[in-house]
Structure 1
Amino acid sequence: MTDTPSRSRDLQARAVALLWRSLARRRLSTLWRLARLVGPLVQGISRREREVTRINLAEVYAERSETARRRLRRESLVHSSATMLELGFAWLGPADRVEASILEVHGRELLDEARAGGRGVIVLAPHFGNWEVLNFWLSGHFPFTAMYEPPKLTALDPLIRRGRERQGARLVPTTSRGVAALLKALKRSEAVGILPDQVPHWGSGVFAPFFGRPAYTATLLPKLVARTEARVVTGVARRLPGRGFAIHFLPADERVYAPDEATSAAGVNASVEATIALAPAQYQWEYKRYRKTPEEAEGRPDFKRFRLY
């Protein structure tokens, strides 16, 4: 007897893969026009995305007027829609077309100088602009390793892996084995990518301010820095609507190098804030960055320091 949920997931995965392949053939200008149509639909139909974005923006930009925040919310949902529509382009589009879409690169010297000095580079890549285009560029220009968690629709895993690895990136699991692979890559003076704005599991982070409010933040970074003396930069692919992308690498806040985990985490969040300032509408505000709270942490047996394996 056929497993109905499994069959349903397979059908969903095939539909998504077909959509990505179709969108991969479209021009970026066409995808941007589609995003401008889809964004308002998301705002109107998806209460979750609309409300989480509204709450986050009210928290972060309390000094702005309600009208300004509402405008930013609309722009943010359009950019988030564009990112989803561009996945097929980033993973499946001809490599020369993706490369040609990267119209500007700022701050590359930060990576070159670190590697020339025999140091690895940790790239903090927040959910800003199109992070898959950033991965494409990094893996095409540097030996690059990044952590990877398979999608919920497991049938999509081979397609996503091929897309992310096609320029030479090495994907490693979000486990102790993956952490060990990052350490080895950094000791070889290579580049590694870390998502600095995902909420980690309890026991794997500390609370640090993010736009003035406590956010549970991963503590992997200070361990990697302490063991490798790597340099840290933030990296994003800022969307140039309908035209392409501008890659930006910025020096991380100096606190990221502190051995104290809370201080380092504060530096990570400050680094992300500085990147968001490039174009606030291009940050993924519909993510529940504050969903874990200090009050919730009190008394938890697993609320402890992260151990690097």
Structure 2
Amino acid sequence: MTQPTDNTSGRFSKASAISWLWRQLSRWPLGLLWRFASLLGPLVYHFSQRERRVTEANLNVVNPNSTVDERKQLAKQSLKHSAATMLELGHAWMAEPNKVEASILAVHGRDKLDNARTEGRGVIVLAPHFGNWEVLNFWLSSHFPFTAMYEPPKISALDPVIRHGRERMGASLVPTNPRGVAALLKALKRSEAIGILPDQEPDWGSGVFAPFFGRDAYTATLLPKLVARTQARVVTGVALRLPGKGFEIHFLDADEWVYSNDDVQSATGVNASVESAIALDPAQYQWEYKRYRKVVQEQQKLANFSDFRLY
């Protein structure tokens, strides 16, 4: 007789294995992690059809004048960097803090945050999925009172592991709901720093369509509401990977349109700010995210047919 499957036990077993792997990888030097990513990236490209297809589709949109071979090579480099980010999670979340701090070889633009706080203004850090955003979180929460929104992982048993990793240097994680937005407002009014992921599609009703590399992408409208109520300064923050060596933190002035009261103009400024960060090294952006998914859905509705494809 078949015994019932203990799904809870299975989730905990998987979570324990993943947590154990992160712990082991946290002891590896970054050079060895990069070499491992250099082996893993090509495997992802060749065997993960979904990651390869979405990455190449996005690169077709943002680099229409490049050759097929150029886009293929950029896709391979991008997936190698994505593999490196996953391998480096243990480093960011579990390695000794002095080891992580030592891996941050330079910080550019810190004065943008310091000056805003001196003026009594909060700072909104737009943190796109570029380089290693968990290292950016580590640095920000090590040097400033820092609050960011957090959505629990699909494997619920990993929640305490990830939450501890992100909060261990003092970051405050708040839910992705009105209570979390209220917490962000309070932090800004205390002249603190908050983090926003600017390149994830929000739920319907929480965004507008704005250009991203020349094509409309559904973009969140939370930013202008926060700016209007707090007069916060907006910067873009990334942890640029120096393969096998460490990271450089870069804080860039956001596009001036982010301060507009018009939702579409502000969203356009947000996307332009992300584009400026990507220009530091396009291979380090996570192109495998379906950034244009909702615009494709709208085009399918308007055309009244379902065979339109981007991804």
Offset, 1:11: 1.6
Query: Contact 1:83/1:130 (CA < 8 Å) preserved in 2?
Result: yes
Offset, 1:232: 0.1
Give distance in 1, aligned partners of 2:154 and 2:60.
31
Give distance in 2, aligned partners of 1:40 and 1:253.
35
Offset, 1:293: 1.3
Q: CA 1:297–1:58 in structure 2 vs 1: closer, same or farther (change >3 Å)?
A: closer
1:163 is aligned, of 165, 168, 171, to 165
Alignment deviations for residues 275-307 of structure 1 (CA, whole Å, 9 cap, x no partner): 00000000000000000017628999xxxxxxx
Give distance in 1, aligned partners of 2:230 and 2:51.
39
Query: Residue type of the partner of 1:44?
Result: H
Q: CA 1:22–1:254 in structure 2 vs 1: closer, same or farther (change >3 Å)?
A: same
Q: How does 1:1-309 map to 2 (within 5 A)?
A: 3-293=5-295, 296=298
Alignment deviations for residues 47-103 of structure 1 (CA, whole Å, 9 cap, x no partner): 000000010001100111111111111100000000000001100011000000000
Q: CA 1:294–1:207 in structure 2 vs 1: closer, same or farther (change >3 Å)?
A: farther
Alignment deviations for residues 108-158 of structure 1 (CA, whole Å, 9 cap, x no partner): 000011000000000000000000000000000000000000001111111
Give distance in 2, aligned partners of 1:224 and 1:3.
46
**SS in structure 2 opposite 1:38?**
helix
Query: Residue type of the partner of 1:87?
Result: L
Q: Which deviates further from its counterpart, 6-15 or 127-136?
A: 6-15
Query: Contact 1:42/1:77 (CA < 8 Å) preserved in 2?
Result: yes
Q: CA 1:40–1:295 in structure 2 vs 1: closer, same or farther (change >3 Å)?
A: closer
Aligned length: 300
Give distance in 2, aligned partners of 1:76 and 1:293.
23
Q: Give the TM-score of the pair, scaled to structure 2.
A: 0.94
Alignment deviations for residues 250-295 of structure 1 (CA, whole Å, 9 cap, x no partner): 0000000000000000000000000000000000000000000176
Query: Contact 1:115/1:121 (CA < 8 Å) preserved in 2?
Result: yes
Offset, 1:7: 2.3
Query: Residue type of the partner of 1:231?
Result: R
Give distance in 2, aligned partners of 1:241 and 1:294.
35
Q: CA 1:261–1:298 in structure 2 vs 1: closer, same or farther (change >3 Å)?
A: farther
Give distance in 1, aligned partners of 2:72 and 2:141.
37
Offset, 1:12: 1.3
Q: CA 1:56–1:297 in structure 2 vs 1: closer, same or farther (change >3 Å)?
A: closer
Query: Residue type of the partner of 1:242?
Result: G
**SS in structure 2 opposite 1:292?**
helix
**SS in structure 1 opposite 2:247?**
strand
**SS in structure 1 opposite 2:141?**
helix
Aligned residues: percent identity? 68
Query: Residue type of the partner of 2:172?
Result: R
Give distance in 2, aligned partners of 1:69 and 1:6.
42
> Structure 2: where are the runs of 5+ without partners?
303-311
Aligned-residue RMSD, C-alpha: 1.5
Give distance in 2, aligned partners of 1:244 and 1:295.
40
**SS in structure 2 opposite 1:64?**
coil
Offset, 1:6: 2.3
Query: Residue type of the partner of 2:7?
Result: P
